[in-house]
Amino acid sequence: PIEQGERAVLASRAYPMRARVAWLLACMSEELGALALFYRSPPHLVGAPRRMTTDVARPASTTSTAEPAELPRQWIVVRKDLGTQWPLGSVIAQACHASVAALWSTRDDELTASYVGALEKMHKVVLEAKDGAELEKLSAKLTTAGVHHHLWIEQPEGIPTCLATKPYLKKDAPPALKRLRLCSWPERDDGSSSSSAPN
């Protein structure tokens, strides 16, 4: 900074104008240099040699090609012979009963939570058993294999009508179910329906 006495000298007419301007420029140059150094380095490092820095090349971002996680599915087995005895709606109701019962009884299971948590992506595989005897035999096999399922017994008739597993991943499909066919509804000859069929 220019001291007060120096300002007085500059103001003196005896001081040559050319020298006055040269001296002023020199002072300004010094102050600007000090200011630049201050902003380049923290105050405690002023005067210390500056470190050379280089930009480290960052790897280009890559798009993940991972496959989306597989969602679990539920297997349902209905009695095909009921198709000739009960209305279609009654048999569908049995499948609904078994499905809900299997989900509710395993509601604390991780795969069940994942299954019901994706309501718009639920996947069910509906298979058929020949009759009640085959359905009960299948249930016994699943129990022995440790497969969680619910065998729906319609009350008060005590008739086994359908079974449903808890949700499993496709790769963990119970082997006992792999030999069963996808459910197909039998044709009715007379188009009649039983009035005593449960709902």
Whole-number pLDDT of residue 39 = 43
Got the DSSP string for 38-86?
A: HHHS-GGGTTSPPPP--PPPPPPP----PPPPPPPBEEEEEEGGGGGTS
Output the pTM of the full model.
Answer: 0.63
Q: How much is the mean pLDDT over the chain? A: 78
pLDDT in tens, 43-63: 544 455 555 444 455 555 455
Query: Which pLDDT value is given to residue 38?
Result: 45
**In this predicted model, what pLDDT tens digit does every residue of 185-195 receive, in sequence order?**
777 665 554 54
